[in-house]
């Protein structure tokens, strides 16, 4: 039986093609994958170390605030929630309040390991 | 009958770790065991590699059965992927959390992430020595905390130690810059470690030369023990699977780190395909992990995904048991490396042994160029730019056609670069030195 998996994507640098390539290995590992797309259109990560750290941090806060009611329901019902990028981490972290049982992991490889363990 | 000497090998990365340095550690302990030594390895727990770096369980079968492996737990909060366990500070202000974490890590030993491991590692080394007295410790780095544990055992019990540098500590092998001054904590530690070491090993001459300048009093104890290819991991001569179509099959195998010029390689690949320098239908297959760690590096994954339409395929990690098959399906190999004259590659030896034409996508000044000097089928770039990569890729059809007539030369070259051929002289010399000491 497939595992209800939500892949959260939030980095503005992630292309649509890349989103699909991130979801594919999770599907191959047995995940029934839904993508929660929190990317803010028209923004790019700043260059420069300090600027990138600041913009990355604030972007991750903003992404967590962009979660819609429908997306929140998907996160609540998931068995596995995967942050596809660093920007998605706060949104996934907040899921622990509404979904006390799902595995919340950082990165697709970690998601693959969880799915492999459930096979 | 003489009692076998006992080697204690301290290595963070050891099978089933899939990290690059593992092959050197594996070959080293096997070489000592084959030479009649009792060998005990102290390394990180199996779970460490499963959780943090990825594991290749097929490697464990390659450890000589006479080798004893003792595993020490290792915690790595920065690479922990369980978001449920993250603190609010880590989630809200990751740079601040990382900075505080680093400061805490470096209290026991000046090495981020690994510093806290010193106490456990040193305790394990002392326990091994108490159970079965150790004649020699060989510590391999990075991480350099293994050197500290070897030093601790020398101070406690007088056991001599060898430092095996796979890279360098105070030298950035990519930029050539000094990363820590001689007066820094790292500098003071390294001076003390080198001063007390029985031998210090490096993977290439440029790195040894740099260290000889820094520590002239220890110059005669410094040796180059180059990497090589492992006969147990590669079935040579490789078969060559037939091409399904007119296109050529190029392949890259290795961890794709941010230092690998992936963007230039892909841009050059597109250029060479677009103007016909490479035949239509050619493919570039990338095998290996994207980044060192379990936590993802999105830019690499995205670059590879975006190139899928241009015949670039990413097949993920390749288990060691499948490496021969991976090379068998390639007409030519792409050696894409970071720049810098101190940069060495473990993979280049395997590429030589594979007997395929090589496209060398790296700074011509780096140490790998010397390894390929005798290789008759190399397309080199003068600079790592898309145009130069495309030009070098354009040489591949002719090199592939010429490959059969160079098979004997490549076989001879491959034999010279076997890993055991690099290790055997030092293993023998250490045995003789210890015999002399005990006589």
Domain ranges, ordered by start, for chain B: 6-228+419-438, 249-416
Is B308 in Cβ contact with A107 (below 8 Å)?
no
Which residues from A are below 8 Å from B296, CB to CB? 84-85, 106-109
Contact of B361 with B353, CB cutoff 8 Å: no
B407 touching chain A per CB within 8 A: no
B246 touching chain A per CB within 8 A: no
pLDDT digits (tens, 9 = 90+) for B315-341: 888 877 789 999 999 999 999 998 788
Which residues from B are below 8 Å from A104, CB to CB? 82-84
* Predicted local distance difference test score (pLDDT) of residue B296: 47
Q: What is the mean pLDDT of residues B370-388?
A: 94
* Predicted local distance difference test score (pLDDT) of residue B1: 57
Residue, of B295 and B110, whose pLDDT is higher:
B110
Residue B237, preceding peptide bond in cis (omega within 30° of 0):
yes
Is A11 in Cβ contact with B83 (below 8 Å)?
no
Dig out the tokens for B408 from the structure. 């004997």
Cα–Cα dist A83/A107, whole Å: 5
* Predicted local distance difference test score (pLDDT) of residue B297: 55
Q: Is the pLDDT of residue B42 over 60?
A: yes
Number of domains in chain A: 1
Residues B155-193 as b/e (b if ≥16 CB within 10 A, e otherwise) read eeeebbbbbbbbbbbbbebbeeeeebeeeeebbebbbeb
B304 touching chain A per CB within 8 A: yes
Is B82 in Cβ contact with A85 (below 8 Å)?
no
Q: One fold for both B6-228+419-438 and B249-416?
A: yes
pTM score of the predicted model: 0.82
pLDDT band at B292 (very low <50, low <70, confident <90, very high): low
Which residues form the domain of A26? Answer: 3-118
* Predicted local distance difference test score (pLDDT) of residue B369: 86
Helix (H, G, I), strand (E, B) or coil at B223: strand
pLDDT digits (tens, 9 = 90+) for B8-39: 999 999 999 977 789 899 999 999 999 999 99
Q: Given the structure tokens 């961890």, which residue do they identify?
A: B255
β strands within B126-184, DSSP E: 136-141, 161-165
Q: What is the mean pLDDT of residues B104-129?
A: 95
Q: Is the pLDDT of residue B419 over 50?
A: yes
pLDDT digits (tens, 9 = 90+) for B175-212: 889 999 999 999 999 999 999 999 999 999 999 999 99
ipTM value = 0.91
Q: Which CATH class is domain B6-228+419-438?
A: alpha beta
* Predicted local distance difference test score (pLDDT) of residue B298: 58
* Predicted local distance difference test score (pLDDT) of residue B52: 82
**Domain CATH for A65:** 3.40.50.1860
* Side-chain-facing half-sphere of A21: CA atoms under 13 Å: 21
B181 touching chain A per CB within 8 A: no
Dig out the tokens for B383 from the structure. 């600079």
* Predicted local distance difference test score (pLDDT) of residue A36: 96
Cα–Cα dist B309/B298, whole Å: 19
Residue of B nearest to A57 (CA): B93
Please tell me the distance in Å from B50's CA to the nearest CA on chain A. 9
Interface probe with B: pick from A47, A100, A109, A115, most Cβ of B within 10 Å:
A109
B315 touching chain A per CB within 8 A: no
Spell out the residues 6+ positions from residue B39 whose beta carbon is closer than 8 angstroms to its own.
B6, B7, B9, B29, B32, B33, B64, B66, B67, B68
Q: Which of A17, A20, A109 sits opposite B294 (nearest CB)?
A: A109
Query: ∠B321-B323-B324 over CA atoms, to 5°?
Result: 100
pLDDT digits (tens, 9 = 90+) for A7-58: 999 988 888 888 888 898 899 999 999 999 999 876 666 667 777 777 777 8
Residue of B nearest to A49 (CA): B95
Cα–Cα dist B126/B156, whole Å: 8
Residue of A nearest to B54 (CA): A109
Is A18 in Cβ contact with B81 (below 8 Å)?
no
The Cβ of residue B335 has, within 10 Å, a number of other Cβ atoms equal to 22
Dig out the tokens for B80 from the structure. 């922990």
Interface probe with A: pick from B49, B79, B296, B297, most Cβ of A within 10 Å:
B296
Which residues from A are below 8 Å from B82, CB to CB? 103-106, 110
Cα–Cα dist B229/B24, whole Å: 9
Spell out the residues 6+ positions from residue B2 whose beta carbon is closer than 8 angstroms to its own.
none
Residue, of B68 and B1, whose pLDDT is higher:
B68
Residue A76, preceding peptide bond in cis (omega within 30° of 0):
no
B181 DSSP β-pair partners: none
* Side-chain-facing half-sphere of B92: CA atoms under 13 Å: 3
The Cβ of residue A46 has, within 10 Å, a number of other Cβ atoms equal to 15
Residue of B nearest to A52 (CA): B95
Helix (H, G, I), strand (E, B) or coil at B9: strand
pLDDT digits (tens, 9 = 90+) for B135-147: 999 999 999 999 9
Q: What is the mean pLDDT of residues A76-95?
A: 95
* Predicted local distance difference test score (pLDDT) of residue B351: 93
Architecture, CATH, for domain B249-416: 3-Layer(aba) Sandwich (3.40)
B383 touching chain A per CB within 8 A: no
Cα–Cα dist B118/B131, whole Å: 20
């Amino acid at each position: 039986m497939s595992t209800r998996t939500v892949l959260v994507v939030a980095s503005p640098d992630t292309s649509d093609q890349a989103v699909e390539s991130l979801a594919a290995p999770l599907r191959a590992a047995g995940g029934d994958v839904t993508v929660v797309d929190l990317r803010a259109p028209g923004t790019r990560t700043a260059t420069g170390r300090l600027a990138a750290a600041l913009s990355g941090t604030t972007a991750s806060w903003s992404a967590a605030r962009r979660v819609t009611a429908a997306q929140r329901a998907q996160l609540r019902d998931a068995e596995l929630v995967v942050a596809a990028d660093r920007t998605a981490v706060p949104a996934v972290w907040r899921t622990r309040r509404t979904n006390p049982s799902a595995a919340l992991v950082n990165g697709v490889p970690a998601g693959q390991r969880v799915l492999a363990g459930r096979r | 009958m003489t009692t076998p000497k006992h080697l204690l090998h301290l290595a963070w990365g050891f099978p089933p770790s899939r990290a690059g340095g593992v092959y050197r550690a594996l070959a080293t302990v096997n070489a000592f065991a084959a030479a009649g030594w009792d060998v005990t390895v102290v390394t990180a727990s199996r779970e460490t590699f499963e959780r943090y770096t990825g594991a290749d369980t097929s490697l464990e079968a390659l450890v000589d059965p006479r080798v004893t492996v003792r595993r020490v737990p290792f915690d790595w909060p920065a690479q922990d992927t369980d978001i449920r366990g993250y603190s609010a500070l880590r989630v809200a202000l990751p740079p601040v959390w990382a900075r505080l974490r680093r400061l805490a890590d470096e209290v026991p030993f000046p090495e981020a992430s690994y510093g806290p491991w010193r106490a456990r590692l040193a305790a394990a080394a002392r326990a091994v020595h108490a159970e079965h007295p150790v004649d020699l410790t060989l510590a391999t780095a990075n991480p350099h905390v293994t050197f500290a544990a070897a030093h601790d055992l020398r101070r406690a019990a007088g056991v001599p130690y060898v430092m095996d540098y796979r890279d360098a500590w105070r030298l950035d092998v990519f930029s050539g810059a000094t990363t820590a001054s001689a007066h820094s904590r790292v500098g003071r530690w390294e001076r003390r470690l080198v001063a007390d070491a029985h031998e210090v090993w490096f993977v290439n001459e440029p790195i040894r030369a740099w260290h000889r300048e820094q520590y002239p009093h220890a110059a005669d104890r410094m040796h180059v023990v180059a990497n090589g290819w492992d006969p147990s991991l590669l079935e040579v001569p490789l078969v060559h699977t037939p091409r399904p179509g007119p296109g050529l099959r190029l392949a890259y195998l290795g961890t794709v780190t941010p230092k690998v010029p992936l963007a230039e390689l892909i841009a050059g690949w597109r250029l060479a395909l677009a103007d016909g320098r490479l035949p239509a239908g050619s493919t570039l297959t990338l095998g290996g992990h994207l980044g060192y760690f379990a936590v993802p590096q999105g830019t690499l994954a995205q670059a590879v995904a975006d190139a899928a339409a241009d015949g670039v395929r990413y097949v993920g990690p390749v288990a060691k048991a499948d490496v021969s098959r991976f090379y068998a399906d390639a007409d030519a190999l792409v050696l894409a490396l970071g720049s810098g004259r101190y940069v060495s590659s473990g993979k280049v030896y395997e590429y030589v042994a594979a007997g395929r034409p090589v496209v060398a996508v790296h700074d011509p000044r780096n140490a790998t160029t010397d390894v390929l000097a005798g290789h008759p089928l190399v397309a080199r770039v003068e600079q790592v730019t898309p145009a130069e990569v495309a030009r070098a890729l354009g040489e591949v059809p002719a090199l592939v056609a010429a490959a059969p007539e160079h098979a004997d030369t490549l076989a001879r070259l491959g034999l010279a670069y076997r890993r055991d051929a690099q290790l055997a002289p030092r293993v023998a010399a250490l045995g003789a030195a210890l015999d002399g000491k005990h006589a």
